[in-house]
Amino acid sequence: MAALFGTAGVPVRISADVMDELWRKLMVNCAYNAISGLTQQPYGRMAALPEICTLQHELVREVVAVARADGQSMSLDAALVAMAQIAQAMPAQLSSTAQDMARGKPSEIDHLNGFIVRRGAELGVATPVNQAMQALVKLAETARDYG
C-alpha cells in the first residue's frame, strides 16, 4: 500500500505504533485548530506571537498528561518540538477548524480538544486550557447560528 501511494506522490510513513501516531496528530490538532479557527489566522502568524506559543505549550502539556494517563509514552519535549515544526513547515496553513468555521460548517472541536477534556475527566487529569478552547469554539459556532 505504501508503494502504491508513493507512486502517486503521496508521502507515506509506516509506523509500528499507530496509537503513538494518533496521539501525536491529536496533540498537533489541539495545539493549532481552535486558535486558528477562532482567529482565522495561519500557523506562521500564530507562531510569531509569544502569547500564542505559551497558550499552545499549555495545550500540549495537557494532551501529553492525558496521553500518559492513558498509557502512552508521549514525551513532552518531543511533542513541543513536533508542534513547533508544524508552523515552520506550513506557515500559511489555516486549520481544518478554521476552514469549517469560515464556511459556517460545524467543526470537529468535540473530537479534538473536547476529546482531551472528556478523556482527562475520565482519567482524573485536569484540562482547563483545552476546555476553554473547546468552549470558545462552541460559543463562536453558536454565535454564527444566531447571526
Residues 107 and 100 sit within 8 Å (Cβ to Cβ): yes
pLDDT of the residue at 10: 66
Mean pLDDT of 81-85: 96
Query: Is 25 annotated in the active site?
Result: yes
Note the residue count of the chain. Answer: 147
Give the chain's domains with CATH numbers: 18-146 (1.10.1040.10)
Per-residue pLDDT of 30-82, as tens digits, reads 999 999 999 999 999 999 999 999 999 999 999 999 999 999 999 999 999 99
Residue keyed to cell 499507530: 18
pLDDT of residue 38: 97
Per annotation, catalytic residue among 2, 25, 48, 89: 25
